[in-house]
């Protein structure tokens, strides 16, 4: 028994010692939210995964501190006059973390793998601007070599597009455009991504991954400029409970929180002034109306519902985090859209007037307090969605609209939206790339994500026309026209523009707010 | 005894098969699938994904394929955490849960038994009421409330203990989660122990021992403890089952990568392979624990042994 006790005590002591070993290196402790499903940039889909893969891989272009494109693996590039061919010259001496050179063929290999239908990469469609990409990915074309990505030599990548795509450089920032170490994938197959096998080309490399706990990275000594990095490594913590994360932040265990409970915003502003950052974010929170069901097939009914949503109070009063009310379909500040966005014509009308107008429109459609319009409003189970749904139901009540609220877990909710088994449904969209088409495409006919099944031939024609345009100003003007049509016809109900919610410790510098909410570690510094 | 154990284990195989079958088909009836998400995928990509995981085969083939793999002790792939198979994920999470749950189990048994004996000895006096008060707190205050309070007091305000994290399993990090996890079980065990101890102390053989002039300490530890433990032991099986399958609340709040979150997250994500894998694992564990309880009964109670 005594031996057992001794062994136990020494084991415990050993654990304690190893647990408390001093950290000489500067580690950024980042609360990352969800659990990474993979480190393979072609197998991930969440913003929490983007934070990791964007630190360990680097594309032809990469993000600066404000998430604008700057040269990454490419030193420079030329775009042909017809806007179809991009030629990238790679930097000299770029290496994978195992010391092997990063070659043009690594990009070609990665793009082919991305489009290979057998790989079933979820976000492959973001690179559909590439010639033949969509045909290959959807199985209409068998020949992977027909993909418009070529290695001219070891240091030159040529990408040919299907049609001129003014936002394509911004699409190249996306993790679907990262190169992959062909030599490692060929040797290890699917196991290439395990710690011990994985080889990366970004400023950092992963060294430890405990699912459900954290991913740990350290400086990649083979990256082009490791001396410029202030932070030696990042511990990306998995923790979905934002309240628990905030308590750990308060105890100094986390340096950055990538979200916080909205009801704690006031507390943070009062007790940790300047640390909570609520900034505009390229995303839209909206209600989709099932236009295939009467009476929502009538534009006037939809317009009445939209006008009566008092979105001005949702951010400040319902959520408490100051989300900006949305009167357009494309959030303001999106690139390639200087003349946009278009706004609903009643944007500046006072709310009581809007309600009167909405009542009139509904009365014309035959609805009112005597003949109430019965609607179900569905949302995916979440406290904030519920608060907003309750508020909107109350705003519609005076019009003579009886709302029944239903909620379902996320998977079921979106399955219902897709199958069209809903009347009014909550949805949201975060920009994948910095271009208005990313939002406007959601209302195109026949698009899977056009849950409301709203169709308008003129709208579709304008979007198709804009897709062929090279002149950015003319293109933007065409897209504004399209957006105006969608808003006039009340295709859906925009409610608010998303905000990013970060909490950044005063010890961290270099954290620049931006509309994409992307903050690569290489630009950050930490003082102990 | 061995024959008994083997027979018990064999009878669980049909039970396991029925459970797997029911689970497999009920899961598929649930709306939504592993690849439904906020952003709808292009239909072709969705088709590719389904083909990749053989989800486009007829259900009965999928079922037979699953059973075929299971016979070879292969729990198959996870549809969500793509880089880790189901078995690998359980293997990664299990040590955390075993250490945390094991520690909580020890605390619950030792603390609960000690508090129960103490309460029995000072029946209806101040120490008994004091213990009863703590027990009530442990029983009625849910862990998602106790955990944040302990974190705020001992982690944020006093700074004595870390708010969360694993820290290589050092007691420094384990203290708070173990307390939260163990508290309701300490409470229940102490209630059971108190009642059973009072009853035992009034039994004739204890009175005889007392009449012989044996000291109180010796009476309790030598004579009363073992018979009084029997009701506690029957509670230990379910308690161990609960503690060793992990707690999603405690794991989430303290950021511990155990297996407790797997089942719920997998069910929400429609990660079919992961749900079935955890069900099978939980069942195996519970069968094993029940067997241990039966064996412990035999050891504690001679009447059971001779049967």
Q: What is the pLDDT of residues A191-210, one digit of tens each?
A: 999 999 999 999 999 999 98
Question: Touching check for B143 and chain A: CB below 8 Å?
Answer: no
CB contact under 8 A, B257 and A238: yes
| Nearest beta carbon to residue A251 from set B83, B159, B167 | B159
Q: Which of A38, A37, A68, A41 is nearest to A53 (CA)?
A: A41
Closest residue by Cα to residue B164 from A506, A245, A185, A19: A245
Measured on CA atoms in the order A279, A280, A283, A286, is the torsion positive or negative? positive
Query: Measured between alpha carbons, how far is A403 from A40 in angstroms, rounded to an integer?
Result: 44
Output the six-digit token pair for A477: 């003007």
Residues of A in contact with B170 (CB under 8 A): 12, 15-16, 18-20
Residues A379/A386, Cβ–Cβ less than 8 Å: yes
The CA distance from B150 to the nearest CA of chain A, in Å, is: 11
Q: Read off the pLDDT of residues A491-506 as tens digits, 9 standing for 90 and up.
A: 999 999 999 999 999 9
What is the token pair recorded at A493? Answer: 């109900």
Q: Which of A349, A346, A329, A333 is nearest to A284 (CA)?
A: A329
Contact B83 A40 (CB under 8 A): yes
Query: What is the pLDDT confidence band of residue A13, given thresholds at 50, 70 and 90?
Result: very low
Q: In chain A, what percentage of residues exceed pLDDT 90?
A: 69
**Residue found by looking up tokens 């029940």 in the block:** B290
- pTM value surpassing 0.90: no
What is the structure's pLDDT at A19? Answer: 43
B269 contacts in chain A (CB < 8 Å): 411
First vs last C-alpha separation in chain A: 45
Q: Does pLDDT of B169 surpass 70?
A: yes
User: For strand A401-408 and strand A373-380, is the pairing parallel, antiparallel, or unpaired?
Assistant: parallel
**CA–CA gap between residue A9 and residue B171 (Å, rounded):** 11
A38-52, A487-501, B73-87, B163-177: segment of lowest average pLDDT:
B73-87
C-beta of residue A340 within 8 angstroms of C-beta of residue A480: yes
ipTM: 0.81
Closest-CA distance, A56 to chain B, in angstroms, reads 17
User: Which residue in the block uniquely carries the two structure tokens 């070609």?
Assistant: A108
B170 close contact with A: CB closer than 8 A = yes
CB A241 to CB B41 under 8 A? no
B172 interfacial to chain A (CB closer than 8 Å): yes
- Residues 209-238 of chain B whose Cβ lies under 8 A from any Cβ of chain A: none
Which residue in B41, B44, B255 is closest to A139 by CB distance?
B44
Residues of chain B with Cβ-Cβ distance to A241 below 8 Å are 252-253
pLDDT for res A524: 96
Q: Cβ contact (<8 Å) for B252 and A240? A: yes
Q: Per-residue pLDDT for A12 more than 70? A: no
Q: What is the pLDDT of residues A309-351, one digit of tens each?
A: 999 999 888 988 888 999 999 999 888 898 889 999 999 999 9
In the predicted structure, residue A55 carries a pLDDT above the cut 90:
yes
* Gap between the Cα atoms of B47 and A67, Å rounded: 34
Mean pLDDT along residues A174-188: 96
DSSP state of A372: P
For position B306, what pLDDT does the model report? 53
Contact yes or no for A211 and B152 at CB 8 A: no
B145 Cβ under 8 Å from any chain A Cβ: no
- The 10s digit of each residue's pLDDT in A16-29 is 444 444 446 899 99
Inspect the interface and report whether the beta carbons of B255 and A238 lie closer than 8 Å: yes
Run of H or E residues at A150: strand A149-153
Question: What is the model's pLDDT at position B27?
Answer: 85
pLDDT value of residue B305 = 59
Q: Where do runs of H (alpha helix) occur along chain B?
A: 2-29, 43-52, 59-71, 86-121, 126-140, 143-150, 171-201, 204-211, 216-218, 225-244, 248-254, 260-269, 272-300, 302-306
- Percentage of residues in chain A with pLDDT exceeding 70? 95
Contact B83 A125 (CB under 8 A): no
Per CB-CB distance under 8 Å, the chain A contacts of B252 are 239-241, 244
B91 interface with A at CB cutoff 8 Å: no
Q: How far is A219 from chain B (nearest CA, A)?
A: 22
Q: Picking from A23-27, A398-402, B85-89, which range would have the lowest pLDDT averaged per residue?
A: A23-27
Contact state of A37 with B35 under an 8 Å Cβ cutoff: no
Instruction: Return the closest-CA partner of residue A311 out of A351, A356, A276, A278.
Output: A351
Nearest to A253 among B83, B163, B256 (CB): B163
**CB contacts < 8 A (A, B):** 162
From CA A245, how far away is CA A260, in angstroms rounded?
8
Mean pLDDT of B129-138: 86
Say what the pLDDT of residue A166 is. 85
CA distance B245 to B265: 14
Half-sphere exposure of B278 (CA within 13 A, CB side): 23
Helices A472-488, A457-467: inter-axial angle, 10-degree rounding: 160
Calculate ∠ Cα A113-A95-A168, nearest 5°.
50
- Provide the CA A290 distance to its chain's centre, in angstroms: 25
| Both tokens assigned to B10 | 């064999």
Q: How confident is the model at residue B48 (pLDDT cuts 50, 70, 90)?
A: confident
Report the gap between the CA of A359 and the closest CA in chain B (Å).
33
Using CA atoms, how far apart are residues B177 and B165, in angstroms rounded to an integer? 10
Helix axes B86-121, B126-140, angle to 10 degrees: 160
Please name the member of B45, B151, B162 whose beta carbon is closest to the beta carbon of A125: B45
Contact (CB<8Å) A448/B42: yes
* pLDDT interval class at A14 (50, 70, 90): very low
- Determine, for residues A247 and B156 on separate chains, whether the beta-carbon distance falls below 8 Å: yes
Rounded CA-CA distance A488/A506 in Å is 46
Dihedral-angle region of residue B210 (phi above 0 means left; psi in -120 to 50 means alpha; beta otherwise): alpha
Q: In this model, does residue B243 exceed pLDDT 80?
A: yes
Do B152 and A244 count as a contact with CB atoms less than 8 A apart?
Answer: no
pLDDT digits (tens, 9 = 90+) for A74-132: 999 999 998 899 999 999 999 999 999 999 999 999 999 999 988 888 888 889 999 99
Name the strand (E) or helix (H) holding A494: strand A492-504
* Residue bearing the bigger pLDDT, A194 or B76: A194
pLDDT of residue A240: 84
**CB B236, CB B220: distance < 8 Å:** no
Cβ contact A125–B42 (<8 Å): yes
Distance from CA of A416 to the nearest CA of B (A): 8
Chain A residue with minimal CA distance to B271? A411
pLDDT band at A272 (very low <50, low <70, confident <90, very high): very high
Which one of A240, A247, A449 has the shortest CB-CB distance to B39?
A449
Distance to chain A for B238, nearest Cα, Å = 26
State yes or no: pLDDT of A4 exceeds 50.
no
B203 Cβ neighbours under 8 A, 6+ residues apart = B227
Cβ contact A443:A450 at 8 Å: yes
Sheet holding A149-153, edge to edge: A74-79, A85-90, A156-160, A149-153
User: What does pLDDT average to over chain B?
Assistant: 85
Residue of A nearest to B253 (CA): A244
């Amino acid at each position: 028994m005594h031996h057992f006790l001794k062994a136990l005590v020494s084991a415990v002591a050993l654990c304690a010692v190893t647990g408390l070993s001093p950290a000489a290196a500067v580690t950024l402790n980042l609360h990352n939210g969800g659990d990474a499903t993979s480190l393979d940039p072609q197998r991930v889909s969440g913003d929490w995964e983007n934070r990791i893969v964007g630190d360990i891989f680097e594309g032809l272009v990469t993000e600066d501190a404000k998430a604008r494109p700057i040269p990454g693996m490419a030193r420079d590039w030329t775009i042909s006059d017809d806007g179809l061919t991009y030629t990238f010259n790679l930097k000299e001496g770029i290496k994978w973390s195992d010391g092997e050179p990063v070659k043009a063929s690594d990009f070609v290999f990665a793009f082919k793998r991305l489009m290979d239908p057998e790989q079933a990469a979820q976000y492959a469609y973001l690179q559909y601007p590439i010639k033949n990409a969509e045909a290959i990915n959807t199985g209409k074309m068998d020949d992977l070599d027909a993909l418009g990505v070529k290695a001219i030599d070891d240091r030159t990548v040529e990408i040919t597009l299907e049609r001129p795509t003014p936002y394509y450089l911004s699409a190249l920032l996306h993790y679907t455009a990262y190169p992959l170490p062909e030599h490692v994938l060929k040797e290890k197959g699917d196991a290439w991504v395990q710690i011990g096998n994985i080889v990366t080309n970004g400023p950092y490399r992963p060294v430890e991954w405990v699912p459900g706990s954290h991913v740990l990275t350290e400086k990649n000594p083979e990256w082009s400029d490791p001396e410029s990095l202030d932070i030696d490594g990042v511990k990306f913590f998995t923790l979905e409970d934002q309240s628990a994360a905030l308590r750990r932040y308060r105890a100094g265990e986390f340096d950055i929180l990538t979200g916080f409970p909205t009801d704690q915003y006031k507390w943070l502003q009062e007790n940790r002034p300047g640390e909570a950052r609520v900034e505009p974010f390229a995303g839209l929170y909206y209600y989709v109306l099932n236009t295939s069901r009467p009476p929502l097939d009538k534009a006037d009914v939809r317009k009445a519902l939209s006008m009566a949503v008092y979105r001005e109070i949702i951010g400040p009063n319902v959520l408490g985090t100051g989300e900006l009310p949305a009167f357009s379909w494309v959030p303001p500040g999106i690139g390639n859209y200087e003349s946009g966005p278009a706004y609903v014509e009643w944007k500046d009308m006072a709310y009581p007037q809007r309600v009167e107008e909405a009542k009139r429109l509904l009365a014309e459609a035959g609805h009112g307090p005597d003949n109430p319009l019965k609607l179900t409003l569905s949302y995916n189970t979440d406290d904030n969605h519920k608060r907003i749904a309750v508020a909107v139901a109350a705003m519609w009540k005076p019009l003579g609209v009886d709302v029944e609220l239903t909620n379902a877990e996320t998977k079921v909710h979106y399955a219902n939206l897709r199958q069209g088994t809903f009347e009014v449904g909550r949805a949201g969209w975060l920009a994948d790339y910095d271009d208005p088409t990313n939002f406007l495409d959601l209302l195109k006919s026949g698009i899977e994500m056009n849950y409301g099944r709203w169709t308008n031939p003129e709208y579709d024609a304008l979007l198709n026309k804009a897709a062929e345009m090279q002149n950015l100003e003319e293109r933007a003007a065409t897209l504004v026209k399209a957006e105006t049509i969608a808003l006039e016809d009340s295709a859906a109900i925009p409610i608010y523009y998303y905000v990013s919610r970060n909490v950044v410790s005063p010890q961290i510098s270099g954290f620049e707010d931006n509309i994409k909410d992307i903050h690569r570690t290489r630009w950050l510094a930490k003082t102990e | 005894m061995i024959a008994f154990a083997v027979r018990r284990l064999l009878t669980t195989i049909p039970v396991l098969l029925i459970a797997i079958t029911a689970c497999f088909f009920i899961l598929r009836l649930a709306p939504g699938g592993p690849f439904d998400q906020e952003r709808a995928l292009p239909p072709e990509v969705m088709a590719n994904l389904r083909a990749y995981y053989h989800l486009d085969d007829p259900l009965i083939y999928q079922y037979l394929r699953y059973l075929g793999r299971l016979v070879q002790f292969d729990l198959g792939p996870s549809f969500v955490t793509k880089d880790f198979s189901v078995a690998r994920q359980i293997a990664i999470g299990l040590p955390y849960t075993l250490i945390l749950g094991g520690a909580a189990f020890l605390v619950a048994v030792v603390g609960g038994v000690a508090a129960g004996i103490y309460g029995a000895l000072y029946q209806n006096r101040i120490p008994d009421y004091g213990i009863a008060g703590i027990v009530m707190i442990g029983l009625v205050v849910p862990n998602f409330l106790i955990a944040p309070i302990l974190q705020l007091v001992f982690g944020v305000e006093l700074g004595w203990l870390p708010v969360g994290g694993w820290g290589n399993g050092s007691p420094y990090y384990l203290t708070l989660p173990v307390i939260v996890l163990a508290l309701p079980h300490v409470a229940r065990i102490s209630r059971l122990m108190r009642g059973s101890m009072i009853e035992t102390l009034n039994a004739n053989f204890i009175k005889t021992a007392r009449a012989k002039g044996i000291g109180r300490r010796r009476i309790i530890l030598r004579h009363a403890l073992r018979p009084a433990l029997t009701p506690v032991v029957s509670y230990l099986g379910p308690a161990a089952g609960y503690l060793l399958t992990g707690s999603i609340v405690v794991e989430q709040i303290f950021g511990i990568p155990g297996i407790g979150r797997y089942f719920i997250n997998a069910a929400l994500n429609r990660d079919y392979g992961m749900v079935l894998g955890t069900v099978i694992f939980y069942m195996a564990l519970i069968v094993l624990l029940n067997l241990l309880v039966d064996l412990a009964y035999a050891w504690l109670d001679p009447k059971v042994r001779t049967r």
